[in-house]
Amino acid sequence: MSSVPDGKKLVRSLSGLRMVPENGAFNSPFSLDEPQWVPDKECPRCMQCDTKFDFIRRKHHCRRCGRCFCDKCCSKKVALPRMCFVDPVRQCAECSLVSQKEVEFYDRQLKVLLGGGTFVVTLGTSDKSETMTCRLSNNHRYLFLDGESHFEVELSRISSMQILTDGTSPGEEDVHTYTSLLDSQGLSEGGSARASGMLLHYKPMGSQDVQQLRLEAADDKKVAALWLAAMHKAAKLLYEARDQ
């Protein structure tokens, strides 16, 4: 499936121009659906400052949350790559702050993930390990692992993810599990904890059996730590997208 060409098409919605995959099945797992706009008749006042709309004070919809605001409360135009908008779009103050942080992920961490890192990889409970390069695919849908062998993990089939820090092993307090990533702030390029590995549980294509995959930083531990920190942030976006 990873070899299927990912064609793009330009579509226009109420919110603006979007560049999306021709086949919706190949959407990036980080992507978010456009929200349903609150109907005009249901929002006579700004949903932030409570200003009443009239001929002069017009209502505007935030492209991220779909709520109604006055121009003052919804004046910022910010890039929204998770919805594939071509140009920056109008967003309320709260949503614009979230989107600005996500733009940093797309500008920095995503490039790190695409570049890859080198890890010692152990599949399942095997005693055998292999040094492999792990990187995110260009369509963001797979983790590619290349060494003497090659295999891939589809992100949508990952059921749990643990980022290991120096001096920890699965089960200890400093392990960051997938479901707690939204509350975890310790891993970053300049964070106090350096990521040293990752433990995944996923279902291979065509199987309902859960497989375990362990990655531990190889020789270039700095590059590996940066890649894992970027994956940590990516996992937060994955969690949010699934919870949408």
The CATH number of residue 83's host domain is: 3.30.40.10
Asked if the structure places residue 180 within a domain, the reply is no
Same-domain pairing of 105 and 122:
no
Same-domain pairing of 105 and 140:
no
Same-domain pairing of 215 and 137:
yes
Asked if the structure places residue 177 within a domain, the reply is no
For residue 52, the SS3 value is: strand
**In this structure, are strands 16-21 and 8-13 parallel, antiparallel, or unpaired?**
antiparallel
- For the cut 60, the answer to whether the pLDDT of residue 4 exceeds it is no
Q: Which two tokens stand for residue 123?
A: 């599949």
Q: Global pTM?
A: 0.76
Which among 137, 154, 138 has a CA at the least distance from the CA of 202? 154
What is the domain range of residue 85? 8-110
Quick check: 20 and 11 in contact, CB under 8 A?
yes
H helices, E strands: number in the chain? 3, 14
For the chain, what is the domain count? 2
Same-domain pairing of 237 and 123:
yes
Q: Which of 70, 87, 110 is the last residue of a domain?
A: 110
Same-domain pairing of 89 and 17:
yes
Same-domain pairing of 94 and 130:
no
SS3 content of the chain, % helix, strand, coil (to 5): 25, 30, 45
Tell me: the pLDDT tens digits for 25-68? 678 888 888 999 999 999 999 999 999 999 889 999 999 999 99
Asked if the structure places residue 42 within a domain, the reply is yes
Tell me: the pLDDT tens digits for 204-225? 888 889 999 999 998 888 899 9
Asked if the structure places residue 72 within a domain, the reply is yes
CATH code for the domain in which residue 236 is found: 2.30.29.160
Same-domain pairing of 126 and 215:
yes
